[in-house]
């Protein structure tokens, strides 16, 4: 089972998720977007997939991602963004490098499971344990020689004596690699490559042309036909091994993410797909700039390849693409004809990262891309680490609750919302009773265990969209947005009761708490919300502890 966390505030959508995934391989756990529920998600841990709505009800979506990824156990989990939007405002809210896939709403069961499967399997398990190569040559001696070489390179092999038979076998076997001779009766190697490129199920297969002569004319014909490389006869095993290593036919677990190609030329798209096989990247193709714009509104790929050869305004395509991305992160590669060399340096000025002239060789493309990919990886790692550090700055390391720095900001924001919306805002200040005696009697390690357990009880029992924080030392606090004092007291009494009833550590410590409560605008002004709660906490301590005292009324339910 694949442990999956789904963050969703809509009860209707929660029900849909549960129904669609009830009999699937996904172990689904539902959470809402409140701070307390996100803390609960982090506490549970072990999730491989997390679905988060684009616009959560209680928190900012990117902030939720940062909170979760700040936890070491969840830092590498895959994030899926659920949204009904295909417009620019998705990008204005999110840095799309934070997410791994998009789930467009409304969705059906099939599209949901397809998205989860695609995202959850970073390293798909191939049913074929040994890669398969198809050898097409009218010479039996050549077929046998190539088969021997490939078997020595840990390939299984099949052979065909002509192009027609080869096409049929390619469709039936779906090999991982095809080697085809140029000079054959009925159908030569170039014609075979052209027909292969027109078949949707097999056009992606890397195809190497075997020829007795490799010159400029042959290279251009091979490029137009869709071949990705040449082997010169007589073929040597080292030369074959070098090509196989370069095209990465064998399974590669180092994925770079997503590549998108803008081109109307199906043959060029096919060549690029095969050439970029070494990236082990998810590759998508757009045929128009409008289609690319729609795609970039919901996804930020790692590599964008722009075929400028058929574009009237080549520089505009580069500039528009970079504007849509809005950052320098993705690698943008411009591909054009030899007649366009004069605009090469202008393309760099207008947003391109690299420029490639057709026809190009696979080694050239690989060399040009690899350096940019390495640099991009370093940049993305730095961005992610900075985000994690920013999130950690708001989190208490010991208890997992938000810290004082976060509290100061959250309280200010929630007061502003309450004033604008004319709603209630209640506040609880908590202090652990006789905590110094715990440290003195059992040591600070036990004291830390008590603090963590009390924080865990708060996370598990705090209501709705409340924000729970460690205020400092043995003090905790809870902000209750849009909550009356009476409602907040009920929840605080529940937390107090659970704290007093649970034995902690091997010493079976029953840790009680005292609390003071205030509420805006019911009992306190915005400026006095914290100080009024603190005064009530002092009264609770003086009254005998293990109780909650509110600003206008005393509630005592000693355990």
Q: Which of 315-324, 363-372, 373-382 has the highest mean pLDDT?
A: 315-324
Mean per-residue pLDDT over the chain, rounded: 84
**What confidence tier does 556 reach under pLDDT thresholds 50, 70, 90?**
very low
Instruction: Answer for the pair 76, 55: CB distance below 8 angstroms, yes or no.
Output: no
Residues 116 and 142 in one domain: no
Q: What pLDDT does 545 receive? A: 93
Q: What pLDDT does 81 receive? A: 87
Residue 394 lies in a domain: no
Number of H helices, E strands in the chain: 20, 23
For residue range 271-288, what is the model confidence (pLDDT) as tens digits?
Answer: 777 777 666 566 778 888
Residues 108 and 188 in one domain: no
Averaged over 521-542, what is the pLDDT? 93
Averaged over 485-509, what is the pLDDT? 92
Q: Which residue range(s) make up the domain with 161? A: 132-247
For residue range 62-74, what is the model confidence (pLDDT) as tens digits?
Answer: 888 888 887 878 8
Closest CA to 253 of 117, 76, 123, 100: 123
Q: What pLDDT does 557 receive? A: 44
Residue 457 lies in a domain: yes
Q: What pLDDT does 128 receive? A: 61
Residues 243 and 267 in one domain: no
Please provide residue 439's backbone torsions phi and psi, each rounded to the nearest 5 degrees: -65, -40
CATH for 431:
3.30.70.270
Residue 387 lies in a domain: no
Which of the residues are catalytic? 474
Residues 338 and 311 in one domain: yes
Which of 343, 365, 387 delimits the end of a domain?
365
**What confidence tier does 544 reach under pLDDT thresholds 50, 70, 90?**
very high
Measuring CA to CA, how many Å separate 554 from each of 384, 484, 538, 558?
A: 48, 16, 13, 12
Omega before 106 within 30 of 0, i.e. cis: yes
The answer, yes or no, to whether residue 248 has pLDDT greater than 60, is no
Which of 247, 275, 293 delimits the end of a domain?
247
- Beta-strand ranges (E) seen in 25-120 are 26-31, 49-53, 78-83, 101-104
Q: Count of domains in the chain?
A: 4
The answer, yes or no, to whether residue 541 has pLDDT greater than 90, is yes
| Two structure tokens written together for 202 | 């097999």
Q: How far apart are CA 15 and CA 363, in angstroms?
A: 51
For residue range 136-195, what is the model confidence (pLDDT) as tens digits?
Answer: 999 999 999 999 999 998 899 999 999 999 999 998 888 888 999 988 888 888 999 888
Burial 144-173 (b: 16+ CB within 10 A, else e): ebbbebbeebebbbbbbbbbeebbebbeeb
Within 10 A of 37 (CB to CB), how many other CB atoms are there? 22
Q: What pLDDT does 503 receive? A: 92
Q: Could you give the 3-state DSSP secondary structure of residue 336?
A: strand
Higher pLDDT, 410 or 389: 410
The answer, yes or no, to whether residue 340 has pLDDT greater than 50, is yes
Residues 176 and 109 in one domain: no
The answer, yes or no, to whether residue 229 has pLDDT greater than 60, is yes
Instruction: Answer for the pair 308, 336: CB distance below 8 angstroms, yes or no.
Output: yes
Residues 541 and 417 in one domain: yes
Residues 481 and 525 in one domain: yes
Q: What pLDDT does 251 receive? A: 45
Lowest mean per-residue pLDDT among 70-79, 105-114, 122-131? 122-131
| Two structure tokens written together for 387 | 């985000």
The answer, yes or no, to whether residue 124 has pLDDT greater than 50, is no
Residue 39 lies in a domain: yes
Beta-bridged to residue 157, according to DSSP, are: 133
| Two structure tokens written together for 52 | 């988060």
Share of the chain above pLDDT 70, in %: 90
Which residue, chain included where needed, has tokens 């963050």?
7
Q: What pLDDT does 123 receive? A: 37
For residue range 284-311, what is the model confidence (pLDDT) as tens digits?
Answer: 788 888 888 877 766 677 788 898 887 7
Beta-bridged to residue 102, according to DSSP, are: 81
Which residue, chain included where needed, has tokens 């075929």?
307
Which residue, chain included where needed, has tokens 């930020």?
300
Q: Could you give the 3-state DSSP secondary structure of residue 179?
A: strand
Q: What pLDDT does 450 receive? A: 95
Residues 450 and 531 in one domain: yes
The answer, yes or no, to whether residue 508 has pLDDT greater than 60, is yes
Which of 336, 365, 394 delimits the end of a domain?
365
Higher pLDDT, 485 or 354: 485
Residue 374 lies in a domain: no
Higher pLDDT, 490 or 391: 490
Burial 327-340 (b: 16+ CB within 10 A, else e): eebbbbbbbbeeeb
Instruction: Answer for the pair 8, 61: CB distance below 8 angstroms, yes or no.
Output: no
Q: Could you give the 3-state DSSP secondary structure of residue 552?
A: coil
The answer, yes or no, to whether residue 126 has pLDDT greater than 60, is no
Residues 6+ apart with CB under 8 A from 116: 2, 4, 21, 24, 26, 49, 80
Helix, strand, coil shares, percent, the chain, to 5: 45, 20, 35
The answer, yes or no, to whether residue 388 has pLDDT greater than 80, is no
For residue range 84-100, what is the model confidence (pLDDT) as tens digits?
Answer: 765 455 666 676 667 77
Residues 241 and 265 in one domain: no
Residues 149 and 64 in one domain: no
Measuring CA to CA, how many Å separate 308 from each of 242, 262, 263?
A: 31, 9, 8
Residues 6+ apart with CB under 8 A from 336: 307, 308, 309, 314, 343, 344, 355, 356, 357, 358
Q: What pLDDT does 89 receive? A: 57
Q: What pLDDT does 555 receive? A: 44
Q: What pLDDT does 160 receive? A: 93
Residue 448 lies in a domain: yes
Residues 112 and 9 in one domain: yes
CATH for 310:
3.40.50.2300
Averaged over 408-433, what is the pLDDT? 93
Residues 6+ apart with CB under 8 A from 14: 6, 8, 30
Q: How far apart are CA 554 and CA 359, in angstroms?
A: 83
Residues 464 and 521 in one domain: yes
**Terminal Cα distance for the chain, rounded:** 42
| Two structure tokens written together for 35 | 């701070």
Residue 380 lies in a domain: no
Whether the CA torsion 282, 284, 290, 295 is positive or negative: it is: negative
Lowest mean per-residue pLDDT among 2-11, 179-188, 550-559? 550-559
> Is 0.85 topped by the overall pTM?
no
Q: Could you give the 3-state DSSP secondary structure of residue 257?
A: coil
Q: How far apart are CA 275 and CA 256, in angstroms?
A: 14
Residue 58 lies in a domain: yes
Residues 6+ apart with CB under 8 A from 201: 171, 174
Averaged over 224-233, what is the pLDDT? 80
Higher pLDDT, 333 or 126: 333
The answer, yes or no, to whether residue 547 has pLDDT greater than 70, is yes
Gyration radius (Cα) of the chain, Å: 31
Beta-bridged to residue 427, according to DSSP, are: 479, 518
């Amino acid at each position: 089972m694949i442990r999956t966390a789904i963050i969703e505030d809509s009860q209707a959508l929660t029900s849909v998720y549960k129904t669609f995934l009830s009999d699937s391989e996904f172990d689904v756990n539902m959470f809402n977007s409140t701070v307390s529920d996100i803390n609960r998600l982090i506490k549970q841990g072990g999730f491989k997939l997390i679905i988060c709505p684009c616009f959560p009800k209680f928190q900012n979506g990117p902030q939720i991602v940062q909170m979760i990824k700040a936890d070491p156990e969840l830092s590498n989990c895959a994030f899926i963004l659920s949204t009904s939007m295909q417009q620019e405002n998705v990008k204005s809210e999110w840095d799309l490098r934070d997410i791994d896939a998009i789930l467009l709403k409304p969705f059906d069961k099939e599209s949901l499971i397809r998205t989860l499967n695609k995202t959850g399997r970073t390293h798909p398990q191939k049913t074929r344990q040994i890669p398969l190569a198809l050898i097409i040559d009218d010479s039996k001696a050549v077929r046998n020689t190539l088969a021997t070489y490939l078997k020595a390179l840990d390939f299984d092999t099949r052979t065909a004596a002509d192009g027609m038979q080869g096409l049929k076998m390619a469709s039936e076997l779906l090999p991982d690699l095809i080697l085809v001779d140029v000079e054959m009766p009925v159908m030569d190697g170039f014609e075979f490559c052209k027909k292969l490129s027109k078949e949707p199920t097999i056009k992606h297969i890397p195809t190497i042309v075997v020829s007795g002569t490799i010159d400029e004319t042959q290279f251009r014909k091979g490029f137009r036909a869709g071949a990705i490389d040449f082997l010169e006869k007589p073929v040597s095993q080292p030369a074959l091994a070098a090509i196989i290593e370069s095209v990465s036919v064998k399974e590669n677990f180092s994925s770079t993410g997503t590549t998108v190609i803008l081109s109307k030329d199906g043959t060029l798209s096919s060549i690029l797909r095969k050439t970029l096989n070494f990236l082990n990247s998810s590759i998508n193709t757009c045929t128009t700039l409008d289609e690319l714009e729609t795609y970039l509104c919901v996804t930020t790929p790692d590599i964008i390849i722009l075929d400028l050869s058929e574009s009237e305004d080549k520089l505009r395509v580069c500039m528009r693409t970079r504007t849509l991305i809005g950052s320098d992160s993705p690698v943008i590669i411009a591909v054009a004809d030899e007649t366009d060399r004069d605009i090469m340096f202008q393309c760099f000025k207008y947003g391109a990262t690299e420029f490639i002239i057709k026809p190009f060789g696979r080694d050239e493309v690989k060399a040009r891309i690899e350096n940019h990919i390495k640099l991009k990886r370093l940049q993305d790692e730095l961005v992610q680490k900075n985000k994690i550090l920013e999130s950690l700055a708001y989190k208490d390391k010991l208890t997992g609750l938000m810290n004082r720095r976060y509290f100061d900001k959250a309280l200010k924001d929630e007061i502003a919302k309450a004033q604008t919306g004319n709603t209630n805002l209640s506040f609880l200040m908590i202090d652990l009773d006789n905590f110094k005696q715990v440290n003195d009697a059992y040591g600070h390690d036990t004291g830390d265990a008590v603090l963590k357990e009390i924080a865990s009880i708060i996370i598990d029992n705090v209501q709705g969209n409340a924000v729970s924080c460690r205020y400092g030392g043995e003090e905790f606090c809870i902000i209750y947005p849009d909550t009356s004092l009476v409602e907040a007291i009920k929840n605080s009494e529940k937390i107090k009761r659970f704290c007093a009833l649970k034995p902690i550590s091997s010493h079976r410590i029953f840790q009680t708490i005292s609390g003071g409560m205030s509420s805006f605008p019911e009992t306190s002004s915005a400026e006095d919300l914290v100080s009024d709660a603190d005064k009530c906490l002092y009264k609770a301590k003086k009254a005998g502890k293990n109780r909650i005292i509110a600003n206008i009324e005393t509630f005592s339910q000693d355990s």
